[in-house]
Amino acid sequence: MTGENRLTLAVAGGRKTQSIVDACADNSKRRLLVTYTTTGQKELRERLNSTYGANSVEVIGWYSFLISHFVYPYLKAKYPHRTVQGFNFQYAVPRGAQEEQRYFDPQGNLTRAGLSRLAFHLARATAGAPYNRLSCIYDEIYFDEVQDLTGWDLELLKALFKSKLTVTLVGDIRQSVYETSYQDQKNKQYRGLKMIGWFREQEKTRKLQIHESLDNWRCRPEIIELANRLFAGNNKLSPAVSKQTEEYEHQGLFRITPNNVASYVRAHHPLSLRWSANCGKELQKICAFRNMGEVKGLTVDHALILPTDGMIQFLSSGISNLKEQTACKLYVAITRARFSVAFVLDDDVQTDQLQRWPTP
């Protein structure tokens, strides 16, 4: 008998992580919580510890999950001459590499690109032993930020769906700014925003129940309206709805010239965001910049964004022709803020979407 498998697709500010924390109130089940990023793991642990006390539920990263429950116990079944030496996150598997060369670097460390594939084939070589072992240790496994999984990760999820475990997935494909492996080409037709197609296929074959939540409890309506425009051309993504009704003295969407950035930062202490460390060097003495893709999960009152040229075109026209990853990163940046989002723009940029700050 298989477990009940569920997916919650919720927009930014949809209380995705909180839903996992709330589910852990029932301590009659043995649970494992898995998420890809170290930021996500830290947030889960902090929320769980503040709610239920230290070490109340086990939280683990995706790579640690694969190594601990698939590779370490069963590596000898397929590669008796190998041991788990370490994990090489940076190693690029050479083109044309043979199977074993995909899994191990020259020093014998496990590779990021080959880890999920190795885990899958070890499970197959042992007649599904890792899935049976997991079901003896846990009743439920939660995968937070599931949009970060890709390639052979999806094959492992399908196998877990058939196990005795209850598997719960939580994520927002609009926040597809990371991938567990950029080299893994398995299931490449489901990368990024196209992952919705994979979810629908699992639903159609009754392996997965999907619940979609479009309510955003974080951001003011005007912020959500701007974020929705980023994906207005994608008919598979429904627009989010703001449930934020709190008023604040500084709220809305703003434009700021570079020479007013210092005074804005002093006045409102925003989270300052840019594309990468190569951007905004002339402002970095004023702004404690963070990269847009690194702030998933954060909530702040105000955000200040240094837009790229493509983002400026979007702000000018109101129409998004942005590349998928750019749209996702801008979506993450915009939806961090509860009350206001400001963009650094030169005076000659034309846009009707943003108020000037300070007011002329």
In this predicted model, what pLDDT tens digit does every residue of 100-135 receive, in sequence order? 999 999 999 999 999 999 999 999 999 999 999 999
Residue 245: strand pairing partners? none
pLDDT of residue 3: 60
pLDDT of residue 1: 43
- Is 219's pLDDT higher than 80? yes
Judge whether 344 and 307 are in contact, CB under 8 Å.
Answer: yes
The helix/strand/coil state of 213 is strand
Q: CA-CA distance, 310 to 318, in Å (whole number)?
A: 12
Sequential DSSP letters for 267-299: HH-PEEEESSTTS-GGGTTT---EEGGG-TT--
Alpha-carbon dihedral angle through residues 118, 124, 125, 127, given to the nearest 10 degrees: 150
In Å, what is the CA distance from 23 to each residue of 3, 32, 238? 16, 12, 26
Q: CA-CA distance, 116 to 120, in Å (whole number)?
A: 6
pLDDT of residue 2: 54
Residue range 337-350: mean pLDDT, rounded: 96
- Is 327's pLDDT higher than 60? yes
Q: How far is CA 133 from the centre of its chain?
A: 28
- Is 11's pLDDT higher than 90? yes
Quick one: pLDDT band at residue 147, thresholds 50, 70, 90?
A: very high
The arrangement of strands across the sheet holding 252-256 comes to 290-291, 271-274, 300-305, 337-344, 252-256, 355-356
In Å, what is the CA distance from 275 to each residue of 16, 98, 218, 264? 25, 36, 23, 20
pLDDT of residue 4: 86
In Å, what is the CA distance from 306 to each residue of 22, 53, 233? 36, 39, 24
- Is 71's pLDDT higher than 50? yes
Return the percent helix, strand and coil in the chain, to nearest 5.
Answer: 40, 20, 40
HEC secondary structure over 150-173? CCHHHHHHHHHHCCCCEEEEEECH
Q: What is the DSSP letter of 113?
A: T
Quick one: pLDDT band at residue 359, thresholds 50, 70, 90?
A: confident
Burial string for 18-47 (b: 16+ CB within 10 Å, else e) reads ebbbebbeeeeeebbbbbbbeebbebbbeb
pLDDT of residue 302: 98
Quote the percentage of the chain above a pLDDT of 70: 99
The reported pTM is 0.92
Q: What one-letter code names the amino acid at 230?
A: L
Residue range 304-308: mean pLDDT, rounded: 97
- Is 181's pLDDT higher than 50? yes
Which pLDDT tens digit goes with each residue over 313-322?
A: 999 998 999 9
Q: What is the CA radius of gyration of the chain?
A: 22
- Is 234's pLDDT higher than 50? yes
Residue range 274-300: mean pLDDT, rounded: 93
pLDDT of residue 350: 93
Residue range 249-267: mean pLDDT, rounded: 97
Per-chain mean pLDDT for the chain? 94
Judge whether 212 and 238 are in contact, CB under 8 Å.
Answer: yes
Which pLDDT tens digit goes with each residue over 22-45?
A: 999 988 999 999 999 888 899 899
